[in-house]
Structure formats: C-alpha cells, structure tokens
Structure 1
Amino acid sequence: MMAGAARPSHAVEFKAKGVWLTSFQYGQNGNFTHGGHTGYDPSEDEFEARSRVRLLIDAVADENLSGQVYFEIGKSIWGKDNNPQGGMALGADASIIKLKRAYIDWRIPDTDMKLRMGIQGIGLPYIAMDGPTVFQSDVAAITVSHAFNDNVSLSAFWARPYNDNYAGGANGSQANFMDNMDMAGLVLPLRFDGLKLTPWGMFAAIGPNTFRNNNGYINQQINGVNGNYIRSGMLPLRADLLSHGEKLNAYGTAWWGGISGEIAAWEEPFRIAWDAMYGSVTYGDSSLNRAGWMAALLLEYKLDWTTLGLYGWYSSGDDDDTGNGSERLPTISNDYGVASFSGTFIGPDINGVERDRVIGNNLVGTWGVGFRLKDMSFWDDLKHTFHISLLGGTNAPGILKKFHEKTGYWMTPNNPEAQGVNAIGRESMYLTTRDYAVEFGLLNEYKIYDNLQLNVEASYVAPCLDMSDDVWGQSLTGGNHRDLRDAWNVSMLFIYAF
C-alpha cells in the first residue's frame, strides 16, 4: 500500500435553511424630534422599503461531526447605493454578501462532550424578558457543552470579539499591541419538575488599546455590526468628554453574574419568570468604571384565546457625579433578540429589519411596568399581540447640570444621530428620574402559507420629559429646535422561511 494514499471519504449530507425578509415602513419622529431633518430620522425617509436574505448551510458527516456556514445579504434599503444599508440602487450588483457565522461542531470521542469552534451565535440566558441584556451576538469563539443528566447541564465559552485593530502611534509603533478583548463564560441550566433555574457568569479582559486611536483611548469605533453598542454599553455617560483622560497601560477587567428562572409548580395557566443580573467593569482610569444591576419579573395567565401578562423591571441609574464612572449595568451587545417585553419598537427587534432602538439597545437606566395580551387568536392562522408599557428613568437629573458645567453645552435627551449611531456611554434616550414615557403597540401575524408569514405592526412612544431649565429645558433636540415629539411607525413585513 502506498504511504501517501488518501483516506477514504464518507458521504456528507448538506442541509439548507433560509429566511427572506421584505418590509415596508412608514413613520415619523424616529428620534423624537422633527427639527433639523425632513425624514423619519437623519438617516431615513418617512417611508422606506428594505430587504434581507439569510442562507444557512449545514454539512453533516454524522451525529459526531458537522459544520455550518451562514451568509447574509443586506439588509438593504430599496434604491440606496452605498452603505449603511445600501446595495439596492438601479442595476444592483453591490457587494452586500456578508459572512454571519462559520463553525464546526464535533463530539470528543467516547464522551458526551460537544465542542463548537468558529464564528457562532452566543447569548446569555433570559426567561422573563424577550431577549438578553448584557450579551448576545455573533462572535469568534469556542463553546463546550455537556449534559450530566436530564436535570443538569453545563456550557462554557471563550470568545475573542476584538484583536489586532490598533493601528499604532507614529509610524505604526506598537500596532496591534494590547488591543485584544477576551471573554469567558459559564452557563448552568437546571431543570426540575415545576422549576427552571439558569445561573450564569461571565468575565472579560479589555486591552488598553482595544478602542484606541490618535484621539484617545476610547475613540475608535471598530468596524462591524456592534461597533457602536459596546462603547455605549461599557463606558460611562459621554466618557469621551467627561473622563479624567488618564493613560491606560493595563487591561480593564469586567465581570457579570445573573440568574434566570421560571416557576410552574402548578399546572397551566399560571407562569412566573424572572431575570436578575449584576455587572462591573474597571479600568486604569477610575472615571471610566461602570457597575450596576437589573431585575425583571413576568407574571402570565393563559386563557383559551390569549395569554395575559403583567411585567416590570428596574435597573440602577447614574448618580450626579460625572467623575466617578457610571452606576448603570455594563452591556456588550444584544445584536438580535428583543431586550424588552414589548415588541420591536422600544429595543432591537428579532427580525433585524424593523425600525427599532428608539429608546435604546436595552432597558438599562430605566424602570417600567406593563401589560400585554399575547398571541390573541380568533381565526385560524391569525394572531395578535398588544402591549402597553409605562417607563421612567433612574438616572439623577443633576448629572445634566454637571455635564453643562464641564462641556459648556446641554446634552440632548434624544439621539441626534442616525439609527444605531449612539454617543459613547449612552443609549438613544437618556431618561432621568423626572422623565417618563408611554409605549404601546399591536403586532398582527398572519400565516399565508406554511412557509410564508405577514406581520403588520403599529408602534407608538410618547415621551414626557422634565423641561425645566436645570434638566432638559435648555437642550436642543434637533437642529435649532427644542420641541419633543412622539415617535410612531407602521410596518408590513413578509417572512419566507424554509
């Protein structure tokens, strides 16, 4: 036999999945003002049509080995040439195909331990809320999972979201030096009769040059879907303007711990679920530190035609000291999954093509209560979900005056930029303990065919902010205007999934 003979290959089964999305949307005041622009917000017209395609291919050798590659085309606004959200101008042919995930799954021989290696979706647990708050995204990582029995399992991961992005100083000196960010986490699902508990923990090390450029240590937005989210969630309010500006020469450290649970010790229709978490991040410059907590509770009662839900949450907020860091929960990214209780408008939507994040990427720095009627159904293939929420801020209003004293101008309550472009250390809306908002919406889901669904949704947010001179009264919400307007949007979304 020849020493160089190739080993015989085994047949590989290929499985394909996909999702086509096409949406049509009309709305106004997407950043709560009409001043300074003539569309939904500075980046969009009041009416927009957009599309996105996701294609997933699994290559399965057997139950012990498989691989997956996951592509995304778009999302793209019809008629728009350049990014962001471009590629659908006349003639098309744009470079808008993106790699979303690519990994292999394999089982360690003679064990039940499974490994996943490559770009994959990782998210921290949630049960009460519709999505995670601290972290959920696609990231290069290794995940190890093992089920000890029917009641106890364990998952662990190491992920590297950023590395080798620092261009260096003059003439490229120290390029790529100490610019990595690494994360490690543990998730322990526990499942018993009538009780589900999932404690979890995560640690991160953040290189001093991870977000460094010639303008400072935290001023580089790294390209990628989540480049804005991590700097808005891991740093204090406008740290680019308010921090001490001290030199960073050591790794920052962050840690989180939480527990999600569900009690169903009795038969339906009752259900109680909760999420609770705490996190802290510290840097060499103490004015960049951030630490806080969040808890949420959901009570549900199931009827024949709907599920009644009462929900509430509370998250710690900033005090009025601009030099001691932030007292809000640090967050990394929740690129997909609704980090709220209330559909797509208040936070990120699960489909990824809707107008969303009008309040923020998450509910950090707020409190709220709400009521919903979920999955109301009176006819076959048609269901509805209605919700209404009252929310307020937990940030001290005195911080706004301190901000003015240090910068010479008044911070705006809204996001004056395009969607997804948040200032460092803040979400789209920054709410104080004197501010409130009412948000409600109706989602209608109609199954046209087994693989084709139509969603028709209407959403509305009415802010009620303190406009006294020492809070928001002297800030400009758009252009040269101080007016604040209600945000609203209606949408039609076609979903073809196979």
Structure 2
Amino acid sequence: MKKLAILFIAATMALAAADAQAIDFKAKGIWQVGMGLSQRNFVKSVGGNKTDSNDVMNSRSRIRFQMDAVASESLSGSVHFEIGHIQWGQQAGGGALGADSTSAIKVRMAFMDWQVPDTSLKVRMGLQNLTLPTKAGNSSVAGNLDVAGIVASWQFSETVGLSALWLRPFNDNYSAEGNTNYLDNMDIWGLTLPVRLEGFEMTPWVLYGIRGKNTFNGTQIWNDGNPMTSMGAYPFGMTAAGARGFTDLDTDKMYGSLFWAGLPVAITAFNPWNIKFELNYGYVEGMGRYDALERGVDPVRGSTQRQGWLAKALVEYKTDWGRPGIFGWYGSGDDGDIKNGSERLPSLRANGMFSSVIGDDVHYGGSLQDQKMTYAGTWGLGLQVADVSFMEDLKHTFRVLYWGGTNSPSMVKYATTRTDWNYTNDYEGIYLTTNDGLLEFNINSVYQVYDNFSIGLWLGYIANLMDSGTWQDGHAYLGDSYSKQDIWNVDLTFAYTF
C-alpha cells in the first residue's frame, strides 16, 4: 500500500504548513464494508449449461477520502481518492492474502471551485461528480457521473438560477495505424435553469453533444466495460460468443449529434403531500449500420440510431410514523423494426433508485452492488412506506413493485445470448418485452449506532415472471433448453463517515 502511505504523508505535510500558507485543509470521507448472499442472474441455464457462475456469498470494502484546500469562500480545491472496491480474497483487487496490490487505489475526483470577483458567478473545473437535475427516482440520463469538465453557475435571485456546463467524457482512447486518437472525442454542452418558489421547484435542462466515429472503438474503453452501451444498439449486434462487435461500422459521418432534455418538478405546497415527477427525452444520431442476425441465420442491417423518452413520478404522504407513497414510471420501447434503430431512452450513466435490488449504488453491499438501471424499455408501478421506526435510531423501508416491458416481443429473434440481455450487473440493465414481468419485494433497515456509524440490512426478492415461450420460440440460441430463475439478495452493510 505504498501509494496510500505517500498520500497520508503528503496530507500530513500539507496540514503542518496550513498556517503558513493561510489555507484551511479539511478532510472527510467514508469507510464502507458490505457482505451478502445473492442470486443475481435471471437465467439459470442455456443448453443444459449453467449460466450463473457468480459466488453466492461475497464481501467487499471501500474507502473514499476527500481533502479540501480552502483559501476563502471564493476559492478552494478538492481531491477525492477511492480505495476499492476490494473484493475480499481477490488478488487483483488487493483483497487476497498479503493485501499488497495497489490497483484498487484511484483518483475519483480532482477539481477547483472559484468565484468571479464581485459577481455571483461560481465555477467548478476538473474531474467532478455530476448528477443532472432530478426529482423522482434519480436521474435516468446522467446520475453519479464522474466526468471531466467545467460547470459555471449564476444565481440571479433567491428563486432563479442558471448553470452552464461543458463535459468531455471521452478523448484520445482510439489507436489504429496512422489514425491514433482520430475522431474519438465526445463533447457535451448543457444548460440547467433551477426555479424555486414557495411549495414548488422545477429545473428544466438540456444537453447537446457530439461524438466522433471512433469514440467507442477504443480498446481500453471496452476492456473497462463501456458505460455507453446505453447510447447505442446494445444488446443487439452481439455475436454468439457475446463479443461487442456492433459499435460503429463504416460510415461517412465524422461526428454524430447527441441530445437530451428533461423537466423535473417537485410540489410541496399541499403539505403533508409531496409530489414529484419528471420527463426525459434523448436522441443519439446513427453512425452507420451493423449486421443483426435474425434467429442467428439471416443478417439484417440494423441502425445505430437511438431515441426515446421516459416519465417517472412519486407521490408521498408524510405522517408521524412514516411516509407511505406510490411511484411509477413508463419508458418508450423498441418497436420491432431493427432497421430504424432503437426507441429506448439513451443515457450517459443512469441511476435506478426505485429498487434496492436493481439500481445503482443504492447501498454498499456484498452482493448486488453498482447495478446500472436505465428504466429504458420498461414500465413499473410500486407502493412503499419509507422511514418507519419501531425503536429509536432504527428505520425501515417496505416496498413492493411490479416491472413490465415496453419492447416488442418480435425483437427477441435478434437476440444472441440471453445472459447478456437479462443480467442485473450491466450498464444497460435488463431487457423486457411486453410479455415479460417482474414482481419485487424489499425490506431495508438502517440502524444509526453512532452519529458517524450506521449498520444496514437489505433484503430483496424478485419473482421472475418473464415469458419463457417468447424467448424459447423466438431466440435462436435457446430452444427448449432455456431455464429461468428468481433473484434475491441479503446484504449487511457497515458505514463510518467523518
């Protein structure tokens, strides 16, 4: 752990010099440990071969450390280090006997904040964590996104503000003879307009971007698991072996356009009612066509264009004993014609927060962790009671919800491996047709042991109601040998914050 030792030595030296430099150094962070049991693949076997090879029991830990160098209210800098995820027993991540790997140590964020003199204009520059404005169920376009860029914010009054941003998610990752780093950048510009009135809030926002023809062709991007699968044809165009060979074929276009818009709204004027809803739309210009095999035999030229929309809502009623509520969402789905592209909402990095089994960073557990769920191509309706307490410092959330699909069942004939289509730990999430469904149950509890230390117990179960006939009859690689299963998780989490 040499890098970690150097980090803390540097921090100690900086603190010692704080008075001389008139800089106030502040440190904060979180230690997290999670352990759990889980079954996390909706597919049990294909062709008589078991597809779910994941361990039932897992344990992991993570440390996030943040240091701020504050010169004044108008100038500061921040660096965030992350150690982990450390999978206990895994050598590559430093969790095996000896624990001497340094591969798990990384810089998560590094940015500076400054204010233009004599104005209310504030600027953040560097590698930062970004979530687009959202009210119901977290962002379906960009949530918890670590990205390099600049965000400038101006507060006109107590009720109205404006933020402008420029992000560069990708650049210089493409390598080819004679064309290294050629047309491989992605740039995104955006505006948000927060409006806050008594009992009412809304923040309309818009993003426009461009992507080069080679943006997603970088080898390292795919080695790391490309989070941009939810901007293209995925999961179509996969080979039988599951290789991601569909990205961009020959195209005359040098750049393609990207566009998103959203309208999140929160209404609290009717206390104790709390009403939240939001609308999202996204468009990704097609950059060439690819071969999709119909039933694994006949090639069909599919389009890489993708555009779609999503609506979400949450209504809660506040009481002394908890917050009962109803929530739901509906997203556009594929229409069955692969030649005109996908009709699912594209996203940069979505969060799904209505579910604690399929969602993103809902809790730091040992089993179902860091799931990416866009809600694209699905609909859902659920009931929950949040923050129920039967004893001091112990709170529970009870939830039941039904998932459905909005994608045409005829799209199944272009499927390759069923595992790639319905695995909970992926950037796009599960793919559901209008014949499929899921029934989920959650019981989540958090006990605040000390002011800075909490223990959580997360219980989840999803009954697999996907239509086996749809997949067996339409899928070239399954036939009569396809077997499905329910998924579940039991996670115990420990978190110390300072």
Instruction: Give a deviation string over 1:103-141, Cα, whole Å, max 9, x none.
Output: 110011111101111000111111121x21111201110
Per-residue deviation, 1:418:
7.8
Deviations 1:276-301 (A, max 9, x none): 01111113426110000000111111
Query: What is the distance in 1 between the residues matched to 2:170 and 2:353?
Result: 27
CA distance in 1, matches of 2:339, 2:256: 18
Deviation at 1:195, TM superposition (A): 0.9
Q: Post-superposition shift, 1:465?
A: 1.6
Indicate yes or no: 2:148 matched with 1:135.
Answer: no
Report if aligned partners of 1:398, 1:471 keep a CA contact under 8 Å in 2. no
Could you tell me whether the CA contact under 8 Å between 1:235 and 1:290 is conserved in 2?
A: yes
TM-score by length of 2: 0.86
Aligned CA distance change for structure 1 residues 187 and 398 (closer, same or farther; 3 Å):
same
Please report how far the alpha carbon of residue 474 of structure 1 lies from its aligned counterpart in structure 2 after TM superposition.
6.1
Contact in 2 for aligned 1:413/1:472 (Cα 8 Å):
no
Matched, 1:257 2:256: no
Paired position in structure 2 for 1:160: 168
* Alignment partner, residue 483 of structure 1: 483
The CA distance in 1 between the partners of 2:372 and 2:467, in whole Å, is 19
CA–CA distance in 2 between the matches of 1:243 and 1:78?
35
1:275 aligns with: 278
Q: Is contact 1:416-1:477 (8 Å) kept? A: no
Give the 5 Å matches for 1:450-489. Answer: 450-468=451-469, 470-473=470-473, 475=475, 481-489=481-489
Q: In 1, distance between residues paired with 2:248 and 2:27?
A: 52
What amino acid maps onto 1:452 in structure 2? F
Say whether residues 1:222 and 2:227 are aligned partners: no
Taking the aligned partners of 1:478 and 1:460, their CA distance within structure 2 comes to 25
Match of 2:98 in 1: 91
Deviation at 1:39, TM superposition (A): 9.8
Deviation at 1:485, TM superposition (A): 0.5
Q: How does 1:335-346 map to 2 (within 5 A)?
A: 338-342=351-355, 344-346=356-358
In the alignment, structure 1 segments of 5+ residues that lack a partner are: 1-7, 214-219, 404-409
Instruction: Tell me the equivalent position of 1:207.
Output: 212
Contact 2:38/2:368 (<8 A) preserved? no
Q: Retained in 2: the 8 A contact 1:107–1:114? A: yes
The 3-state SS of whatever aligns with 2:484 is: coil
SS of equivalent residue, structure 1 residue 333 = coil
Supply the distance in 2 between the matched residues of 1:357 and 1:134 (Cα, whole angstroms): 19
SS in 1 for 2:226: helix
Q: 1:194 aligns with which of 176, 179, 199?
A: 199
Could you say if the C-alpha distance between residues 418 and 127 of structure 1 is closer, same or farther in structure 2, counting changes exceeding 3 Å?
Answer: closer
Cα contact 1:235–1:326 (8 A) shared by 2: yes
Residue 18 (str. 1) matches residue 22 (str. 2): no
Q: TM-score, normalised by structure 1?
A: 0.86
Q: Aligned ranges for residues 1-400 of structure 1 at < 5 Å?
A: 10-28=21-39, 30-35=40-45, 41-42=52-53, 44-82=54-92, 86-95=93-102, 96-129=104-137, 131-136=138-143, 137-168=145-176, 172-212=177-217, 220=219, 222=221, 227-239=225-237, 245-266=249-270, 268-285=271-288, 287-334=303-350, 338-342=351-355, 344-353=356-365, 355-356=367-368, 361-400=373-412
Secondary structure of residue in 1 paired with 2:229: helix
Q: Deviations over 1:176-204 (max 9, x none)?
A: 01110011111111000111111000111
Write the distance in 1 (CA, Å) between the matches of 2:220 and 2:238: 12
What's the CA shift for 1:339?
A: 1.7
Q: Distance in 2 between matches of 1:448 and 1:57?
A: 26
Say which structure is richer in helix: 2
The 1:52/1:441 distance shift into structure 2, 3 A limit, reads: same
Task: Quote the offset at 1:346 in angstroms.
Answer: 1.6
Residue in 1 that maps onto 2:433: 432
Q: Which amino acid aligns with 1:156?
A: A
- What is the CA deviation profile of residues 443-492 of structure 1, one whole-angstrom value per residue up to 9, with x for unaligned ones? 01001111110000111111212222x54446599999511100011010
Deviation at 1:158, TM superposition (A): 0.3
Give distance in 2, aligned partners of 1:308 and 1:419.
Answer: 27
Decide whether the 8 Å contact of 1:256 with 1:277 is kept in 2: yes
Q: Any unmatched runs of 5+ in structure 2? A: 1-18, 240-245, 290-302
Could you say if the C-alpha distance between residues 17 and 352 of structure 1 is closer, same or farther in structure 2, counting changes exceeding 3 Å? same
- Tell whether the 8 Å contact from 1:119 to 1:141 is kept in structure 2 after alignment: yes
C-alpha spacing 1:224/1:54, structure 2 compared with 1 (3 Å): farther
What is the Cα-based RMSD across aligned positions, in Å? 2.7
Alpha-carbon offset, residue 15 of structure 1: 0.5
Distance 1:40 1:459, change over 3 A: farther
CA distance in 2, matches of 1:112, 1:483: 60
- Using the TM superposition, give the Cα deviation of residue 399 of structure 1 relative to its aligned residue in structure 2, in angstroms: 1.5
Q: What is the alpha-carbon distance in structure 1 between the residues aligned to residue 265 and residue 395 of structure 2?
A: 27
Structure 2 counterpart of 1:407:
none
Q: Which amino acid in structure 2 is aligned with residue 254 of structure 1?
A: L
DSSP-derived class of the 1:89 partner: coil
Give the match's secondary structure for 1:124: coil
Distance in 2 (alpha carbons) for counterparts of 1:181 and 1:292: 20
Deviation (angstroms), 1:221: 5.6
Does the 8 A contact of 1:436 with 1:465 survive in 2? yes
Whether the aligned pair in 2 keeps the contact of 1:413 and 1:431 (CA below 8 Å) is no
Task: Give CA-to-partner distance per residue, 1:398-439, whole Å, 9 cap, x none.
Answer: 1223x1xxxxxx5454437986456xxxx3421001111101
Check the 8 A contact 1:35/1:478 in 2, yes or no.
Answer: no
Q: What's the offset of the Cα at 1:245?
A: 3.8
The 3 A distance-change label for structure 1 pair 52 and 223 is: farther
